Amino acid sequence: MEWKKEARILFWMVALFLSAFFLPTRSERFREAILAMFDLTKWYAREHVILCLLPAFFIAGVIAVFVSQGAVIRYFGANAKKWLAYSVASVSGTVLAVCSCTILPLFSSIHKRGAGLGPAVAFLYSGPAINILAIILTARILGLEMGIARTIGAVVFAVVIGLSMAFIYRREEKAKAEAQLNFPEIPEKRPLWQTAFHFFTLVLILVFANWGKPGKGVSEGAWYWLWANKWMITATFSLLLAFSLIYILKLKWQHVLAGAVLTATSVWLSPTPLVPVIVGITAVSVITLLDERDPDNREWAISTWGFAKQILPLLGLGVLAAGFLLGSTHDNTQIAGVIPNEWVVWLVGGNSVLSNLFASIVGAFMYFATLTEVPILQGLLAAGMGKGPALALLLAGPSLSLPNMLVIRDVMGTQKTAVYVLLVVTMATLSGLMYGALFP
């Protein structure tokens, strides 16, 4: 009714007015929370969007355009062999090495292509949770037993949460399975190895462009060597991408060469690697968007833009909210949010149900970029955090965040998102209790 619509408008006008009227601008904590909100957003934009999210959008576009729907349904669909679907989905993070936000376009892509809810959710959880770099860092800094517990817990979580979601929504999955039974066998447009080559070239560019710096004092070993040479390795895979664009996607070699020359020139002219990455991404976008030989190439650029348009605004809002509530912690910067850090440490000491539950909830809503959860936990453990709550936060935190939840809700709905978050928080709490009892 018309009066209900007007009442809602009045309600929001009054709510906004009262918020502005009682805004605690003189409060030091409020001012610091505002600073933390914008500091986290600035850091996220500088360190995460260009190197992580933009390549991830292109990878999601590959899945959406070049990987046939039949292939996704065959390996991840409602009728796929469960052992195969969940095995692949539950260990995907060892290959992807992404965070809770970077996994979103990939999850959205396979979900839209017809993947079963269970395997898709297992993939969504495991992508950030089983990041091999983060597990190695966990074992080295927080102890071998914590690294092993995180690895086992993450794999088990991915499978159990995926199976639980499939069981809870079994009616929907049954209907999807019946619909997919009659899905026609459509021949692949190109050999599978070509699509796989193109896909994994982009994945490896994403992985090495974001290869984390080893801990302080580490100046040798394979990890350090890879980090020290990560841009040379990334450039090598970029050359393979150029080969893929010409040989597999059949783009004009003159256009690809021009884009490669511009990217290489920007390397010498720019003091930061972000500029060459932007130039390279722009070149690929323009070349594929203007290609007239194969409509799939243009569709790849359009699909990539579609994922960016859907996900980036929600992530921006989520990062702002996470910074305001929980503060900004990155590199050597620590700015408190409106929720005092002292409360967090006080609430996660020991190994009670409350401390593990609180750690799981805080981890679920707080945003962690790849590898940042380990030094944060190192500081919390030194301040008195229990080992059980530490593992609970490790199992809930990297795979969930407030920005992540907003996007998941947009992809699979409010109810499924709430169930998924509840499953992660519950299992993280129980795992923390068990681990805290075994390793007091």
The per-residue pLDDT for 298 is 93
The per-residue pLDDT for 418 is 93
In the predicted structure, residue 345 carries a pLDDT above the cut 90: no
% the chain with pLDDT above 90? 25
Which of the pair, 63 or 410, is modelled with greater confidence? Answer: 410
| pLDDT tier, 126 (very low <50, low <70, confident <90, very high otherwise) | confident
Among 368, 422, 355, 421, CA closest to 394: 368
pLDDT tens for 319-336 read 787 788 777 877 777 787
The per-residue pLDDT for 256 is 94
User: Does residue 259 lie within any of the structural domains?
Assistant: no
Q: Note whether 227 and 211 are within 8 A (CB).
A: yes
The per-residue pLDDT for 79 is 65
| pLDDT tier, 20 (very low <50, low <70, confident <90, very high otherwise) | confident
User: Does residue 20 lie within any of the structural domains?
Assistant: no
In the predicted structure, residue 310 carries a pLDDT above the cut 90: no
Mean pLDDT of 294-308: 89
Question: What are the b/e assignments for 402-417, b being 16+ CB within 10 Å?
Answer: bbbbbbbbbbbeeebb
The per-residue pLDDT for 181 is 58
pLDDT tens for 188-205 read 678 888 988 998 899 889
Q: Which phi-psi region, left, alpha or beta, contains residue 439 (left: φ > 0; alpha: ψ -120 to 50)? A: beta
- Which residue matches tokens 């993947």? 115
Q: Note whether 52 and 98 are within 8 A (CB).
A: yes
| pLDDT tier, 161 (very low <50, low <70, confident <90, very high otherwise) | very high
In the predicted structure, residue 425 carries a pLDDT above the cut 60: yes
Average pLDDT score, the chain: 82
Mean pLDDT of 140-157: 83
Task: Quote the CA–CA distance of 347 and 437 in Å, as a whole number.
Answer: 18
The per-residue pLDDT for 68 is 67
| pLDDT tier, 278 (very low <50, low <70, confident <90, very high otherwise) | very high
User: Does residue 122 lie within any of the structural domains?
Assistant: yes
The per-residue pLDDT for 417 is 92
The per-residue pLDDT for 431 is 93
Which of the pair, 296 or 328, is modelled with greater confidence? Answer: 296
Query: Structural domain of residue 422, as residue ranges?
Result: 26-251+291-438
The per-residue pLDDT for 104 is 78
User: Does residue 197 lie within any of the structural domains?
Assistant: yes
Question: What are the b/e assignments for 204-240, b being 16+ CB within 10 Å?
Answer: bbbbbbbbbebeeeeeeeebeebbeebbebbbebbeb
CB atoms within 10 A of CB 97: 25
Chain mean position to CA 405 = 11
Mean pLDDT of 254-279: 91
The per-residue pLDDT for 372 is 64
Question: What are the b/e assignments for 139-174, b being 16+ CB within 10 Å?
Answer: beebeeebbebbbebbbebbbbbbbbbbebbeeebe
In the predicted structure, residue 344 carries a pLDDT above the cut 90: no
User: Does residue 376 lie within any of the structural domains?
Assistant: yes
Cα atoms in the 13 Å half-sphere on the side-chain side of 197: 16
User: Does residue 101 lie within any of the structural domains?
Assistant: yes
Mean pLDDT of 275-281: 93
User: Does residue 273 lie within any of the structural domains?
Assistant: no
The per-residue pLDDT for 46 is 82
Identify the H or E element spanning 197. Answer: helix 192-209
The per-residue pLDDT for 426 is 94
Mean pLDDT of 141-149: 81
Q: CA Rg, the chain, in Å? A: 23
pLDDT tens for 92-111 read 655 555 666 767 777 887 77
User: Does residue 8 lie within any of the structural domains?
Assistant: no
The per-residue pLDDT for 131 is 66
In the predicted structure, residue 74 carries a pLDDT above the cut 80: no
Tell me which of 212-226, 249-263, 295-309 is least confident: 212-226
The per-residue pLDDT for 235 is 93
The per-residue pLDDT for 343 is 76
Tell me which of 19-28, 340-349, 354-363, 405-414 is least confident: 340-349
Among 184, 66, 163, 63, CA closest to 116: 163
pLDDT tens for 363-421 read 888 776 655 676 677 657 765 778 899 899 889 887 888 888 888 888 888 999 999 99
| pLDDT tier, 145 (very low <50, low <70, confident <90, very high otherwise) | confident
In the predicted structure, residue 247 carries a pLDDT above the cut 80: yes
CB atoms within 10 A of CB 58: 23
In the predicted structure, residue 1 carries a pLDDT above the cut 70: no
| Burial degree of 1 (CB within 10 A; 0-12, 13-18, 19+) | exposed
Structural domain tally of the chain? Answer: 1
